[in-house]
């Protein structure tokens, strides 16, 4: 692809962020209710305050409210829930990259001069439907002619990538598990996470619960043994097991994006957006290399070029770990590690909270949860908090966190959107 | 320009050929690249001069998974945790790849399914709702 | 409070295309979009290399529900050879592709892209009528659905409010239908490419052929009053007040203003563009106007420096006949309560001083939801460039046209003004 170097007519910055608790919410709780929760947190996070009337537009990412909630056209309804009518409200969708793309479009809109202040959000309420129907609703974002009829689900498509990666690089099932363990360690420090627990905590609870039920107390020597126990960690699509898969849950997230030149009206600590990249990709069978998501590379290249940085400059990142294999691919596709070498970095703890390049400090999609539409902006919320030193017990310490990256993938890589942020 | 002659390269035509137990690709008359399923524009050179060619149905497995949690369509067929199914990507002898159901492999031991296993095409007719449809599968030889 | 706005860079339309709208057993969304794309390519007077397209914005309402398939951005970009360019879907119920157009304009105005393909697609006919109704109802607000409102129902209620407030009757709605069908007669892309008179004549002919009693309609109004020919859907909305279920696709090519002449000597410039949102019926001050339309129109007029009287021709969102009456008021073409009189006097006819829906509108052209927005803009494209054939309006020095696209029951509205220089 002929790569044009891109530049924006106007700079933009994030000045507020909020996120609801991710998890299984009761049926009567709608995406609009979760959005109000996220927006309430966002308002409190804007240091010098924000009123709804000051917001020029609302950009929303959502995958399938039509199927999950039997409600479509939710951008105006969501805008209404936080008092934004009659401002423009629009919904974007690019499978699981829905809100990452909404964020990008908000950047573009502000840069065009049409708006100064845009609220960007993401929502999803997945738990109203039983699992097989959720599986199908997700699966229809794959190719309709060749992938869905072949019985592929999303765990299945990523599992296929995983078997290819294992064959090419010797990646093991334990490597996938290590990613899950690391993310759960982080999730255990995140009160908004769906699984606000490390694997060790989960093991303790399961053991205690077995004893309560009068069953023999299970003993697992360590997390690996627990994750190898088919009674605790069943296969979903081999080699992806339950703990390799991000969770079906509900949630909402939002950030406030403004033109850089007015950012100081809202906070003395804005997080600037210095790069954005987006690319589309082919179905799995049409890719030259099944062990890499080419659209990630292309989106990252556009974002890095715009930002004038390279992978080595990124100090902290949120990547799209819809499945543990996806985090491994992201580490390679984003240029943090060479192809086939991400697993070594994981084994060495390089991406842990105290590692050289902390990845998914909020627990990732695995522990935090993956309410699809909310995930893209959810990553940006974490970066906002980390770069401003507001991430509490999971704050990355002792490092200069000036430059960060978020990576949001749609489906198995048919859309990827990457953003680079800087705390100046 | 996309060649629209007789709706030759659309998805419904792909499914019609499957019903006739044929695996058909689109070959670009300009650069020779083969695409599967049928498409009107060549993804390699962007030309709109495609012709329909029949694949011989032989290939090898290049990636796969064994799925325990399937969508309603597969549950209806009787697949579940105890009876998972294999889906994979096959590289045909003509050099083009296509996803399909993979049969004749031991789904109870997924780690022993080998990438590179030779396979040959099989057509599975099933009734879904009120329609009879033909699905693409490959059998390990 | 609405801010004054301006765009960083000018944007022009240099190509447009659409498939015929209709109900197709054997054509799918990809095929229909390919048709629209092909037509767009041939419409670019000096030609264009599709490899120069920087991105795709695609509007779609819910192919997810209608044909069980999502993530249409990459599917369409793959079809037309755009991969790996960014491909994004926009949704705002029936305003989906007008939103794609709007985001495409911003994308170029921001300096980010130079050439963007915008468009929309929808494939509604594969589901049963009841299922489609269910799909459409999802675009209304939850409260309305729970008390049994359907789409036609919401507009039926809007009509009763309008009648009560302004003294209009069903007869005034019929004027809209008759006018639109007279226009559609000249639109080969319309799903119902026939006037009401043509339809009556066909029915009479069929009755004669079958030896059945011949209906005695003396004019179009009698036909439309005949419940057998024009049954009630949600009173006072009858069949001929409602737009149909359709499949279709449309697209347009946008470029930075400074590049437009490389593609055509007759580009159309985007001089005004507005968007607004609205609440459900019970939360509105008044049922006889759409807040979202007024907000969107205000933004577009301010951006362009134009007034309602400057708009010489417009496509408005006549999902139901009553809607057309309200839109021409909300857009400032006629005072509130006077829209129905203007239509009665023939002011909005093809040969009138303010032609509305020369394409036949959604009623006759069809309403494949996601494809409607750019479909409306395409009519303006054709009219301003003198390419509308038998339905070309006879206005001298036709330069400024606009398209109004409403989502759902007024939750979203876009208003876009194009200018020929």
**B73, B89, B91, B106: best to mutate for the A interface, most A CBs within 10 A:** B89
Q: What is the pLDDT of residue C4?
A: 65
Say if residue C133 is preceded by a cis peptide, omega within 30 of 0. Answer: no
- Is C277 touching A (CB cutoff 8 A)? yes
Q: CA of C19, closest CA in chain A: separation in Å?
A: 22
Q: Is C317 a catalytic residue?
A: no
Residue numbers in C near A281 (CB within 8 A): 74, 83-84
Whether C277 and A85 lie within 8 Å, measured CB to CB? yes
Res. C282 pLDDT band, cuts 50 70 90:
low
pLDDT of C160 above 70: yes
Res. C292 pLDDT band, cuts 50 70 90:
very high
Q: Given A25, A165, A320, A370, which residue is catalytic?
A: A370
Q: What is the pLDDT of residue C284?
A: 72
Whether C80 and B4 lie within 8 Å, measured CB to CB? no
Whole-angstrom distance, CA of residue A75 vs CA of residue C275: 13
pLDDT of C186 above 60: yes
In this complex, the chains that touch B, judged by 3 or more CB pairs closer than 8 A, are A, C
pLDDT of B140 above 50: yes
Whole-angstrom distance, CA of residue A418 vs CA of residue A408: 6
Whether A237 and B66 lie within 8 Å, measured CB to CB? yes
Of A133, A161, A167, the CB nearest to B115: A167
Mean pLDDT by runs of 10 across the 424 residues of chain A is 67 97 94 96 97 96 92 92 94 96 97 95 95 88 86 94 96 97 97 97 94 93 96 95 96 98 97 96 91 97 96 98 98 98 97 97 97 97 98 93 97 96 93
pLDDT of B6 above 50: no
pLDDT of B4 above 90: no
Using CA coordinates, name the residue in chain C closest to B16.
C26
The better pLDDT of the pair C360, B9 is held by C360
Using CA coordinates, name the residue in chain C closest to B39.
C79
Whether C78 and B43 lie within 8 Å, measured CB to CB? yes
Q: What is the pLDDT of residue B7?
A: 56
Whole-angstrom distance, CA of residue B60 vs CA of residue B68: 23
Whether B43 and C31 lie within 8 Å, measured CB to CB? no
pLDDT in tens, B67-116: 998 888 888 889 988 899 999 999 999 999 999 999 999 999 998 999 99
pLDDT in tens, C302-356: 999 999 999 999 999 999 999 999 999 999 999 999 999 999 999 999 999 999 9
SS3 track for chain A: CCCCCCCCCCCEEEEEEEECCCECCCCCCCHHHHHHHHHHHHHHHCCCCCCHHHCCEEEEECCCHHHHCCCCCHHHHHHHHCCCCCCCEEEEEECECHHHHHHHHHHHHHHHCCCCEEEEEEEEECCCCCHHHHHHHHHCCCCCCCCHHHCCCHHHHHHHHHHHHHHHHCCCHHHHHHHHHHHHHHHCCCCCCCCCCCHHHHHHHHHHHHHHCCCCCCCCCCHHHHHHCCCCCCEEEECEEHHHECCCCEEEEEEEEEEHHHHHHCCCCCEEEEEEEEEECCCHHHCCCCCCCHHHHHHHHHHHHHHCCCHHHCCEEECCCCEHHHHHHHHHHCCCCCCCCHHHHHHCCCCCCCCCCCECCCCHHHHHCCCHHHHHHHHHHHHHHHHCCCCHHHCCCCCCCCEEEEEEEECCCCEEEEEEEECC
Whole-angstrom distance, CA of residue C321 vs CA of residue C180: 10
Instruction: State the pTM of this model.
Output: 0.92
Residue numbers in C near B1 (CB within 8 A): 38, 41-42
Q: Is C238 a catalytic residue?
A: no
ipTM: 0.90
Q: What is the pLDDT of residue C228?
A: 92
pLDDT in tens, C15-34: 999 999 999 988 889 889 99
Q: What is the pLDDT of residue A1?
A: 40
Phi–psi pair at C89, nearest 5 degrees: -100, 140
Residue A328 tokens read as: 């491994």
- Is C166 touching A (CB cutoff 8 A)? no
Q: Given C94, C243, C251, C319, which residue is catalytic?
A: C94
Report yes or no: A258 and A50 within 8 Å, Cβ to Cβ: no
Q: What is the pLDDT of residue B2?
A: 52
pLDDT in tens, C32-84: 999 999 999 999 999 999 999 999 999 999 999 899 899 999 999 988 989 99
Q: What is the pLDDT of residue C157?
A: 87
Query: Of the candidates C106, C12, C95, C152, which has an alpha carbon nearest to the alpha carbon of residue C375?
Result: C95
* Structural domains present in chain B: 5-54 (no CATH), 58-140 (2.40.50)
Res. C184 pLDDT band, cuts 50 70 90:
very high
Res. C146 pLDDT band, cuts 50 70 90:
low
Whether C51 and B12 lie within 8 Å, measured CB to CB? no
């Amino acid at each position: 692809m002929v790569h044009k170097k891109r530049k924006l007519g106007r700079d933009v910055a994030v000045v507020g962020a909020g996120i609801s608790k991710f998890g299984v919410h009761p049926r009567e709780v709608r995406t609009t209710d979760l959005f109000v929760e996220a927006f309430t947190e966002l308002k409190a996070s804007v240091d010098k305050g924000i009123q709804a009337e000051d917001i020029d537009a609302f950009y929303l990412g959502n995958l399938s409210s039509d199927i999950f909630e039997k409600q479509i056209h939710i951008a105006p309804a969501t805008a209404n829930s936080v008092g934004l009518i009659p401002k423009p409200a629009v919904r974007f969708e690019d499978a699981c990259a829905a809100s990452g793309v909404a964020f990008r479009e908000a950047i573009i809109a502000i840069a065009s001069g049409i708006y100064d202040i845009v609220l960007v959000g993401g929502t999803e309420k997945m738990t109203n439907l039983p699992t097989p129907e959720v599986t199908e609703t997700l699966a229809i974002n794959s190719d309709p002619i060749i992938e869905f009829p072949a019985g592929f689900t999303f765990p299945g498509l990523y599992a296929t990538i995983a078997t290819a990666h294992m064959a090419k690089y010797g990646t093991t099932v334990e490597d996938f598990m290590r990613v899950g363990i690391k993310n759960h360690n982080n999730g255990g420090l995140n009160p908004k996470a769906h699984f606000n627990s490390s694997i060790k905590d989960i093991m303790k609870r399961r053991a205690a619960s077995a004893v309560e039920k009068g069953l023999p107390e299970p003993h697992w020597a360590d997390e690996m043994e627990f994750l190898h126990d088919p009674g605790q960690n069943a296969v979903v699509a081999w080699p992806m097991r339950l703990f390799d898969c991000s969770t079906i849950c509900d949630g909402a997230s939002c950030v406030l994006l403004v033109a850089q030149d007015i950012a100081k009206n809202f906070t003395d600590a804005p997080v600037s957006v210095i790069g954005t990249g987006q690319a589309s990709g082919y179905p799995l069978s049409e890719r030259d290399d099944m062990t890499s998501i080419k659209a990630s590379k292309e989106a990252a290249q556009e974002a890095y070029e715009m930002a004038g940085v390279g992978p080595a400059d990124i100090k902290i990142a949120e990547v799209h770990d819809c499945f543990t294999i996806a985090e491994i691919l992201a580490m390679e596709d984003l240029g943090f590690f060479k192809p086939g070498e991400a697993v070594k970095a994981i084994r060495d703890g390089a991406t842990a909270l105290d590692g050289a390049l902390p990845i998914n400090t909020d627990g990732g999609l695995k522990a935090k949860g993956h309410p699809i539409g909310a995930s893209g902006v959810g990553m940006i919320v974490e970066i906002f908090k980390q770069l401003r030193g507001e991430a509490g017990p999971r704050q990355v310490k002792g490092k200069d966190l000036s430059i960060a990256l978020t990576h949001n993938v749609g489906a198995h890589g048919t859309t990827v959107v990457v953003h680079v942020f800087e705390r100046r | 320009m996309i060649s629209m002659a007789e709706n030759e390269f659309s998805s419904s035509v792909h499914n019609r050929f499957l019903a006739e137990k044929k695996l058909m690709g689109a070959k670009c008359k300009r650069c020779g690249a083969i695409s599967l399923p049928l498409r009107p524009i060549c993804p390699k050179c962007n030309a709109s001069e495609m012709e329909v060619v029949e694949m011989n149905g032989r290939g090898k497995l290049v990636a796969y998974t064994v799925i325990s949690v399937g969508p309603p369509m597969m549950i209806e067929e009787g697949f579940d945790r105890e009876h998972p199914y294999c889906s994979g990507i096959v590289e045909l002898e003509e050099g083009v790849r296509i996803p399909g159901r993979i049969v004749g492999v031991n789904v109870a031991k997924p780690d022993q399914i080998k990438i590179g296993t030779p396979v040959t095409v099989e057509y599975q007719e099933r009734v879904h709702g009120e329609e009879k449809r033909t699905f693409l599968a490959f059998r390990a030889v | 409070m609405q801010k004054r706005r301006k765009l960083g860079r000018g944007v022009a339309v240099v190509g447009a295309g659409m498939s015929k709208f209709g109900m197709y057993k054997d054509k799918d969304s990809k095929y229909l979009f390919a048709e629209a794309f092909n037509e767009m390519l041939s419409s670019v007077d000096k030609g264009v290399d599709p490899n120069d397209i920087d991105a795709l914005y695609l509007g779609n309402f819910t192919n997810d529900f209608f044909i069980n398939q999502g993530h249409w951005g990459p599917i369409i970009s793959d079809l037309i050879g755009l991969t790996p360019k960014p491909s994004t879907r926009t949704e705002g119920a029936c305003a989906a592709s007008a939103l794609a157009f709007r985001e495409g304009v911003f994308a170029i105005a921001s300096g980010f892209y130079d050439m963007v393909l915008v468009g929309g697609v929808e494939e509604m006919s594969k589901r049963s009528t009841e299922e489609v109704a269910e799909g459409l109802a999802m675009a209304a607000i939850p409260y309305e659905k729970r008390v049994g409102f359907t789409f036609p129902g919401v507009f039926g209620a809007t009509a009763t409010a309008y009648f009560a407030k302004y003294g209009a009757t069903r007869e005034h709605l019929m004027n809209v239908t008759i006018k639109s069908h007279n226009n559609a007669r000249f639109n080969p892309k319309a799903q119902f490419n026939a006037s009401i008179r043509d339809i009556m004549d066909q029915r009479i002919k069929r009755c004669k052929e079958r030896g059945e009693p011949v209906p005695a309609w003396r004019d179009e109004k009698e036909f439309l009053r005949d419940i057998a020919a024009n049954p009630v859907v949600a009173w006072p909305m009858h069949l001929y007040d409602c737009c149909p279920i359709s499949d279709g696709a449309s697209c347009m090519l946008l470029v930075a203003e400074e590049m437009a002449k490389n593609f055509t000597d007759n580009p159309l410039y985007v001089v005004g563009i507005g968007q607004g949102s609205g609440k459900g019926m019970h939360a509105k001050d008044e049922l006889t106007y759409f807040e979202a339309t007024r907000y969107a129109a205000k933004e577009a007029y301010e951006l362009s420096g134009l007034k309602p009287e400057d708009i010489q021709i417009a496509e408005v969102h006549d999902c139901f006949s009553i809607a057309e009456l309200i839109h021409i008021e909300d857009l400032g073409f006629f005072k509130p309560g006077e829209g129905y009189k203007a239509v009665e006097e023939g002011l909005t006819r093809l040969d009138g001083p303010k032609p509305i829906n020369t394409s036949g509108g959604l009623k006759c052209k069809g309403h494949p939801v996601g494809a409607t927005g750019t479909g409306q803009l395409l009519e303006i494209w054709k009219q301003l460039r003198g390419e509308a054939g038998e339905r070309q309006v006879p206005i001298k020095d036709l330069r400024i046209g606009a398209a109004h696209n409403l989502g759902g029951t007024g939750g979203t509205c876009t208003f876009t003004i194009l200018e020929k220089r």
